[in-house]
Each structure stands twice: as structure tokens, then as C-alpha cells.
Amino acid sequence: MPDLTEATRLKSDTLQGALANAIPILRGLDQLGQLVPVGDWILTDDELISRLGLWRAREMDMFLAQVESTAAKTKVYLREYSIARDDRILFMIETEEGFVGHIGLANIEDSTAEIDNVMRGVPAHGDGLMSASERALVSWAFDNLDVTSLHLRVLSSNVAAKRLYERDGFATTKRLSLRREPAVDGTVLVPCDSNQANVPFTCDVMTLDRGRFRSQD
């Protein structure tokens, strides 16, 4: 079973405590930034919460739940899911420019976990930050959570993200047909039988095991 104590320990009440627990984002010998664990400290930063809501609204087409994104909803999600649940942890991606994105883990259980909430909020091209952030998170998870594999879900239409994950060793292990259904304040994409699909793309499950990741080091 995964060890959830380390993920819980990193969730500080203060930004100072969160910075003390930050995970370096490295590319070779260069530090590009750090992963700052989200805890109760973020709930008093209304400006940052508003930015997170705007980032998600801008990239709505990349998510399974395509619903209205507001600061109020973002705050509820952070408090009740990212912070309150022991099987989840979210990290802000911080560089010299400040907080520029986020990445996290969910469903930490049964020797595996899911990478989720991957977002580059401040656009940039070719700096390798998201790949390095992902590798920092993957390395930390394998070293500290006693998981043996990681997986993620990505829409097949998100070609850039799929290429990034493939370069980092993830392989597609399942393709799920999707059906768009109405939801409060938007729509959701739900897995279905192929004959019930009503969108031209799939939800691809990609997996990386610890041995394959270590062989790339």
C-alpha cells in the first residue's frame, strides 16, 4: 500500500512552510524552479486562486469536466479535494517569474497513483519546464510514496501533451471512448462503449512503471 504520510506532511498551513518543503525542478545540473506543495496557505491568497480559475477556463477543452470555472469553485476544490483528501496532493510550479502552473497526484492507492491537474498557466515555448516538473513529481512519488507505477489520463486530441508524456516514458495502455453529456454549468466527457461515443477523440490512459523510469536516469 502507498505511504500517504509524506504527502500529508507536505501540506503546510503557511507559505513559508510550503517553501521549506518544496521539491527542486532540475534539468541536468540546472534548477528551473520548484514544486511548492499546496496546503491551507493558498486559501487566503485570493489573487492566486483567481488566476488558477482563469487558467482552467482558458484550457477547458483539455479536461473531461468542461464546466464553468470561477474563483469560488476553485477555492472549494482546493479546500475539499487537494488539501482535505489524504490520497491527493497538488503542487504549484514556481520559477523566477512566480507561480506559472501546477501539477499533482490523485487516487494514491494500491501501489499506484494518477498524475492530474497538469497545467502551464503562463505560456512559454521550448523551455522544458513542464517535462522537468513532471519528472520531479514522478521521481518524488516513486521515492516517497511506495508506489510502483503511475498513470494519467489525457485526451487524444491533446497532441502536445501526449508527445510530452511519451518522451518521458509513458505508454498508452488503454483508449476509452467518450460521450459528451450535459452537466451543471457545462458538459462532462464520460467513458462509454464505442457505439455510444459522440466525440471524435478518446481518453487515453498512459502508464509508467518505476523500473522503466529508473532505467532512464
3-state secondary structure of 40: helix
Q: What is the mean pLDDT of residues 159-185?
A: 95
DSSP symbols for 95-106 = ETTEEEEEEEEE
What is the pLDDT, as a whole number, of residue 6? 87
CA 178-59-128 angle, to 5 degrees, is: 110
Q: Where are the domains of the chain?
A: 5-216
Helical (H) or strand (E) element with 172: strand 171-183
Distance set, CA 33 to CA 11, 103, 130, 153, 164 (Å):
19, 13, 11, 25, 19
DSSP state at residue 63: S
What is the pLDDT, as a whole number, of residue 2? 66
What is the pLDDT, as a whole number, of residue 5? 84
Gyration radius from the chain CA atoms:
17
Q: What is the mean pLDDT of residues 156-183?
A: 96
CATH of domain 5-216: 3.40.630.30
Q: For residue 103, how many other CB atoms are within 10 A of its CB?
A: 22
Nearest Cα neighbor of 180 from 204, 156, 197 is 197
Per-residue pLDDT tens digits for 6-60:
899 999 999 999 999 999 999 989 999 999 999 999 999 999 999 999 999 999 9
The pTM of the full predicted model, rounded to 2 decimals, is 0.95
Assign residue 98 a region: left if phi > 0, alpha if psi is -120 to 50, beta otherwise? left
Task: Name, in order, each residue with C-beta under 8 angstroms of 43's C-beta and a sequence gap of 6 or more.
Answer: 49, 75, 78, 79, 83
Does the structure show a pLDDT above 90 at 129? yes
What is the pLDDT, as a whole number, of residue 126? 67
Nearest Cα neighbor of 5 from 103, 110, 106, 87 is 87
Nearest Cα neighbor of 194 from 177, 173, 211, 216 is 177
What is the pLDDT, as a whole number, of residue 216? 82
Q: Is the dihedral of CA 5, 7, 9, 13 positive or negative?
A: negative
Q: Which of 1-5, 73-77, 153-157, 183-187 has the lowest mean pLDDT?
A: 1-5
What is the pLDDT, as a whole number, of residue 127? 81
pLDDT over 90 percentage in the chain? 91
Q: How confident is the model at residue 206 (pLDDT cuts 50, 70, 90)?
A: very high
Strands (E) across 22-169 are located at 23-27, 30-37, 65-67, 89-95, 98-109, 112-120, 149-155
**For the purposes of burial, counting CB atoms within 10 Å of the CB of 206, is it exposed (0-12), middle (13-18) or buried (19 or more)?**
buried
What is the pLDDT, as a whole number, of residue 3? 66
